Amino acid sequence: MATLTIDGVQVTAEEGQTILDVALENGIEIPTLCSHPLLEPYGACRLCVVEIIRRGWPRIETACTYPAWDGIEVNTKAPQVMEARKVILEMMLSRTPNVPIIQDLAREYGITEPPFPAEAPDEKCILCGLCVRTCHELVKADVLNYSAQGIERRVGPPFLEKTRQCIGCGACSIMCPTGAIEIVLEQEAVYQEKPLGPTSAVWVPSLQAIPRVPVIDKDSCIHFRQQDRSEGKIDDACMACQMLCEVDAINFEQEDEIIELDVGAIIVATGFEMWDATKLSQYSYGQSPNILTGLEFERLSNSAGITGGEIVTAEGKEPERVAIIHCVGSRDHNAHEYCSRFCCMYSLKQAHLVRDKTDASVYEFYMDMRAFGSGYEEFYERVQKEEGITMVRGRGASVEVLSNGKLRVKGDDADLGELVHVDVDMVLLSTAVEAPHDSSEVASMFGLSRKPDGFFAEAHPKLRPVETNTDGVFLAGSIQGPKDVPDTVGHAGAAASMALALLDKGEVVISPQVAIVDEKLCSACKTCISLCPYTAIAFVDEDNVARINEALCKGCGTCVAACPAGAITAQHFTTEQIMAQIEGLFRVPAEVEEGVKA
């Protein structure tokens, strides 16, 4: 603990603190552009110069580098200090005349105009070195450093050329006080890969997340991404969040884990996936950045998205005309034959968003308008009448990218009975939804069956819409077929209540008619296992036999009939019993036999 005087005020300092640290703690302002609490002091901008009197000797030093030693006296506003700062700011403003933070600081010191003509008026870099130190100390990538000496000094990667060592983390850009570093996303923009993914490396997955705490996205977190070319992962790369978190809540060791639970009921809710629009080449998806799927458009118009919610084309301009094509991949013999159900309504909503945020004309190419929900028809009426959207009834047939960058949408207008086309700046494809690509694995894991369209089969389409043929396993939402939000909520509610009803029973009564394996006869051929529709048969490796889970078995007899060794019998339904019943059927009653005799 040291005691020193700053501007006549006695203050105390901890071991390792600098004068700047202590001054800031005590509300004494010292201007600085090159210091940052996460980085080692550097002393490049020289704005924090102060007068320090130590052992009777006055000297001018930078507050950001000078240790807060015991007994020193600091004057942050000594006349020669103020003059030195003013001279430095005059030179900085001449170097970077159009940087607001420099302009503001200069104004504080009474400088309104740069005293020298600027060599490059667009210059923003003041060579404070924050980016270089961030890249070296935090990111540990060492991509940035200084090149050339003296007045030619500049910051950049080696030889000022692109380097693969840069992971594009953007930390340098965030640290830069003057906005001199811009991160340019090349070709594959992040949002295209992960439309609903994290917007930063530390994020809350959704506002409804439970518990609602931030998590680290390992794909974008510098700490996890930073690799050394030869030695692999750098363990101490960027730990800025840990250094800043006052309650020590950051744990880099925490891993995703698999938790095993014994449960009484399972609700399977895998949702849907978007169909890949490149599969139908006539829509030219992927050939122009201005052809977007509905989901991409959602990202674009989201206020947390890359444009801050502004609807602009890839060229950064507001579109003049926008076409929306319905049923892309839905109701199509070449893709999915089913209707994806909710595209009509989101297409109308997106037409509304375009009209609301821009002056663009909107053309909707649709086959039938399926506005079936509560209030849907009214919304459909409203966008047509009040917002002036042009509805073209007839499938949008193709999109062509013209040489001037415009997009030509051709279609069939069924009302006019002729082919029409319109040249637009942006095309939104209302693409189909489909069952997730790994549905078959999920199906076999839970012993569920799927319908020809790929979605999961319910036990009965009308009477048991959330149950499956496997007891205790229920479906919720779009796993069973495309659903909009109200339908999904309703379906999920039903699944939850079915599961609760089952759990509430405490115990269940099952039919005693189940199959059993005569383990002496089982030849371990495993034929039965794949045939069982209820996943009730498991193969026990230790005993080398198939064994039946009696709680799951419905006694359907499929395995009994299929077992080549005749090892499986259905209890209460054995061959002997059946034969006995047959014999019983054919036996002439005694009185009849007696009557015949008589």
Partner 1 sequence: MNTSKTQKHRADLLVSCVHDRAPDLIPALEAEVKRRGLEGEVKVVEAGCRGFCSMGPVLLIQPDGTFYVNVQPADVPEMVEETLVKGRVVERMTYQEPSSHACALYEDISFYSKQHRIVLRNCGMLNPASVEEYIAVGGYEAVGKALFDMTPEGVIEEVKKAGLRGRGGAGFAAARKWETGRKAEGDIKYVLANGDEGDPNCFMDRALMEADPHSILEGMIIGAYAMDAHQGYIYIPYEHTLSVKTMRNAIESARAYGLIGEDILGSGFDFEVEVRVGAHSFVGGESTALMHAIEGTVSEPRPKHIHTTEVGLWGKPTCLNNVKTWNLVPEIIGKGAEWFASIGTEKSTGTQVFSLAGKINNVGLAEVPMGTTIRELIFDVGGGIPNGREFKAIQIGGPSGGAVPASLLDMPMDYETLEEAGSMMGTGGVVVLDDRSCVIDVARYFLDFLKDQSCGKCSSCREGIRYMLEMLTNITEGKGKMSDLEVLERMGKSVKISSMCGLGKSVPNPVLSTLRHFRDEYVAHIEDHKCPAGVCKALIEHYINDQCNGCGLCLRKCPQDAITGEKKELHTIDAEKCIQCGVCFDVCRFDAVGVR
Pair of tokens at residue 270: 């895998």
Q: Please state the length of the chain.
A: 598
User: Is residue 528 a contact residue for partner 1 (CB under 8 A)?
Assistant: no
**Nearer residue to partner 1 within complex by CB, 39 or 126:** 126
DSSP string, 115-166: SS--S-TT-------HHHHIIIIIS-----EEES-GGG-EEESGGG---TT-
In the list 30, 32, 35, 66, the residue contacting partner 1 (rule: CB under 8 A) is 66
Cα angle, residue 29 at apex, residues 26 and 34 outer, rounded to 5°: 115
User: Is residue 79 a contact residue for partner 1 (CB under 8 A)?
Assistant: no
Beta bridge partners of 546: 539
Q: What is the DSSP letter of 63?
A: T
In the list 35, 62, 270, 488, the residue contacting partner 1 (rule: CB under 8 A) is 62
Closest residue by Cα to residue 422 from 368, 367, 363, 366:
363
User: Is residue 3 a contact residue for partner 1 (CB under 8 A)?
Assistant: no
User: Is residue 92 a contact residue for partner 1 (CB under 8 A)?
Assistant: yes
Piece of the chain touching partner 1 by CB under 8 A; list 41-49, 200-208, 452-460, 556-564: 41-49
Residue 54 CB, nearest distance to partner 1 (Å)?
A: 10
Residues numbered 272-331 forming contacts with partner 1, rule: CB under 8 A: none
User: Is residue 422 a contact residue for partner 1 (CB under 8 A)?
Assistant: no
User: Is residue 157 a contact residue for partner 1 (CB under 8 A)?
Assistant: no
**Nearer residue to partner 1 within complex by CB, 46 or 406:** 46
User: Is residue 65 a contact residue for partner 1 (CB under 8 A)?
Assistant: yes
User: Is residue 129 a contact residue for partner 1 (CB under 8 A)?
Assistant: yes
Find the helix packing angle between 100-108 and 79-95, rounded to 10°. 150
Q: What is the DSSP letter of 457?
A: P
Contact 106, 95 (CB under 8 A): no
**Nearer residue to partner 1 within complex by CB, 11 or 126:** 126
User: Is residue 45 a contact residue for partner 1 (CB under 8 A)?
Assistant: yes
Question: What's the CA gap between 425 and 414, in Å, rounded?
Answer: 24
Question: What's the CA gap between 205 and 561, in Å, rounded?
Answer: 50
Question: What's the CA gap between 270 and 582, in Å, rounded?
Answer: 48
Residues numbered 387-416 forming contacts with partner 1, rule: CB under 8 A: none
Bridge-based pairing state of the strands 266-268 and 473-475: parallel
Q: Which residues contact 497 (CB under 8 A, 6 or more apart)?
A: none
Residue 167 CB, nearest distance to partner 1 (Å)?
A: 22
HEC secondary structure over 394-444: CCEEEEEECCCCCEEEEEEECCCCEEEEEEECEEEEEECEECCCCHHHHHH
User: Is residue 46 a contact residue for partner 1 (CB under 8 A)?
Assistant: yes
Residue 168 CB, nearest distance to partner 1 (Å)?
A: 24
Coil, helix or strand for 560?
Answer: helix
**Nearer residue to partner 1 within complex by CB, 129 or 411:** 129
Residue 39 CB, nearest distance to partner 1 (Å)?
A: 14
What would you report as the CA-atom Rg of the chain, rounded to the nearest whole angstrom? Answer: 36
**Nearer residue to partner 1 within complex by CB, 118 or 241:** 118
User: Is residue 44 a contact residue for partner 1 (CB under 8 A)?
Assistant: yes
In the list 67, 170, 289, 533, the residue contacting partner 1 (rule: CB under 8 A) is 67
Cα angle, residue 347 at apex, residues 342 and 352 outer, rounded to 5°: 130
User: Is residue 95 a contact residue for partner 1 (CB under 8 A)?
Assistant: yes
Residues numbered 103-122 forming contacts with partner 1, rule: CB under 8 A: 115-116
User: Is residue 146 a contact residue for partner 1 (CB under 8 A)?
Assistant: yes
Question: What's the CA gap between 465 and 517, in Å, rounded?
Answer: 33
**Nearer residue to partner 1 within complex by CB, 92 or 556:** 92
User: Is residue 87 a contact residue for partner 1 (CB under 8 A)?
Assistant: yes
In the list 77, 153, 218, 382, the residue contacting partner 1 (rule: CB under 8 A) is 153
**Nearer residue to partner 1 within complex by CB, 145 or 527:** 145
Count of C-beta atoms within a 10 Å radius of residue 292:
23
**Nearer residue to partner 1 within complex by CB, 60 or 339:** 60
User: Is residue 76 a contact residue for partner 1 (CB under 8 A)?
Assistant: no
Question: What's the CA gap between 125 and 146, in Å, rounded?
Answer: 12
User: Is residue 151 a contact residue for partner 1 (CB under 8 A)?
Assistant: yes
Look up residue 229 and give its amino acid.
R
User: Is residue 75 a contact residue for partner 1 (CB under 8 A)?
Assistant: no
Bridge-based pairing state of the strands 232-233 and 57-62: unpaired
In the list 27, 56, 150, 308, the residue contacting partner 1 (rule: CB under 8 A) is 150
Total residues interacting with partner 1, rule: CB under 8 A: 38
User: Is residue 255 a contact residue for partner 1 (CB under 8 A)?
Assistant: no
List of residues contacting partner 1 (CB under 8 A): 41-47, 49, 60-62, 65-67, 80, 83-88, 91-92, 94-95, 115-116, 126-127, 129, 145-146, 148-153
